[in-house]
């Protein structure tokens, strides 16, 4: 009995394809009654990250262990497991960088940004005739301008929103660009060495 690649060859010449795993494991082969398994063979595979050892679900007195073999890790499966792990680490890292860049801004305020920006952009059409501005065009910015109590018009506040949006885009661009570069490099890496060589660091938030 032997294993070549992911193929188990029994002593009688029969071959059985085994699942591919990213870590080395152990294959145990049982001879079982034909009424339980038509081919008379039951296989369990144990190893790091795998389920607990499986045993035949029949009378064990009628079963015999006919052999055990070491089953090497599959290089392809190991590479894909490492790729998935590195991608997840990169996602977590860019999320940390994003949160740090927004650390001084309450979540409540962040949740209004898309509405603020949409209203600020919509106000452009009414700058020439501010007295005719419909109430439904910028209800959030109108309420914000009043609550801020700085004597600014809704148009002045809109200008500040647009400027803040530009700053946010400029700050986010390096993070987005770094993520896209890292993701591309991780997905293109065709060896474990190349995968581990990918730099997962992201730019520090700018003050």
Looking at the fold, whether 66 and 119 belong to one and the same domain comes out as: no
State whether 106 and 187 are in the same domain.
Answer: yes
* Whether residues 25 and 94 fall in one domain: no
Q: Are residues 69 and 118 in the same domain?
A: no
* 61 shares a domain with 88: no
Residues 62 and 127 both lie in one domain: no
- Residue-wise pLDDT for 36-85, tens only, equals 999 999 999 999 988 889 999 999 999 999 999 999 999 999 999 999 99
Are residues 44 and 109 located together in one domain of the fold? Answer: no
Sign for the CA dihedral angle at 47, 50, 56, 61 comes to positive
Place of tokens 């400029």: 170
State how far the Cα of 155 lies from the Cα of 8, in Å rounded to an integer: 74
Is the whole-model pTM more than 0.75?
no
Computed over every residue of the chain, the mean pLDDT equals 94
Instruction: Decide if 141 contacts 118 (C-beta within 8 A).
Output: no
CA-wise closest residue to 40 among 14, 75, 71, 70: 14
Question: Do 102 and 118 have their domain in common?
Answer: yes
Q: What percent of the chain has pLDDT over 70?
A: 99
The per-residue b/e assignment along 11-21, b for 16 or more CB within 10 angstroms, e otherwise, is: eeeeeeebeeb
Residue 180, burial from CB neighbour count under 10 angstroms (0-12, 13-18, 19+): exposed
Indicate whether 205 belongs to any domain.
no
Decide if 115 is inside a domain: yes
pLDDT per residue as tens digits for the range 30-49: 999 999 999 999 999 999 98
Residue 17 lies in a domain: yes
Give the total number of structural domains in the chain: 2
The pLDDT of residue 204: 81
Does 203 fall in a domain? no
Strands 64-71 and 15-17: unpaired
Burial 107-130 (b: 16+ CB within 10 A, else e): eeeeeeeeebbebbebbeebeeee
E strands within 21-112?
25-31, 41-46, 64-71
Domain-located, residue 41: yes
Domain that holds residue 9: 2-73
Same-domain status, 105 and 188: yes
Q: Do both 175 and 85 map to the same domain?
A: yes
Q: Residue 88: which of 186, 190, 192 has the closest Cα?
A: 186
Which token pair is 52? 């607990």
pLDDT at 203: 86
Residues 87 and 130 occupy one common structural domain: yes
**Which of 25, 42, 73 represents a domain boundary (last residue)?**
73
Amino acid 207: pLDDT: 54
Same-domain check for residues 131 and 44:
no
Domain boundary, last residue among 73, 101, 126 = 73
CB atoms within 10 A of CB 79: 17
């Amino acid at each position: 009995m032997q294993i070549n690649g992911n193929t188990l060859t029994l002593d009688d010449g029969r071959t059985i394809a085994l699942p591919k795993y990213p870590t080395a494991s152990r294959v145990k082969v049982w001879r079982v009654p034909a009424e339980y398994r038509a081919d008379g063979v039951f296989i369990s595979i144990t190893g790091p990250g795998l389920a607990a050892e499986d045993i035949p679900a029949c009378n064990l007195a009628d079963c015999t262990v006919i052999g055990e073999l070491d089953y090497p890790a599959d290089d392809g499966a190991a590479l894909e497991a490492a790729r998935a792990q590195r991608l997840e680490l990169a996602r977590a890292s860019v999320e940390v960088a994003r949160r740090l860049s927004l650390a001084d801004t309450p979540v409540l305020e962040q949740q209004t940004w898309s509405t603020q920006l949409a209203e600020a952009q919509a106000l452009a059409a009414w700058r020439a005739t501010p007295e005719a501005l419909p109430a439904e065009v910028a209800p959030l910015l109108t309420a914000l301008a009043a609550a801020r109590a700085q004597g600014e018009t809704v148009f002045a506040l809109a200008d500040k929103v647009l400027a803040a949006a530009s700053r946010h885009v400029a700050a986010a661009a390096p993070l987005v660009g770094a993520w896209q570069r890292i993701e591309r490099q991780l997905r293109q890496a065709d060896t474990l060495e190349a995968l581990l060589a990918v730099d997962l660091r992201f730019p520090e938030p700018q003050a």
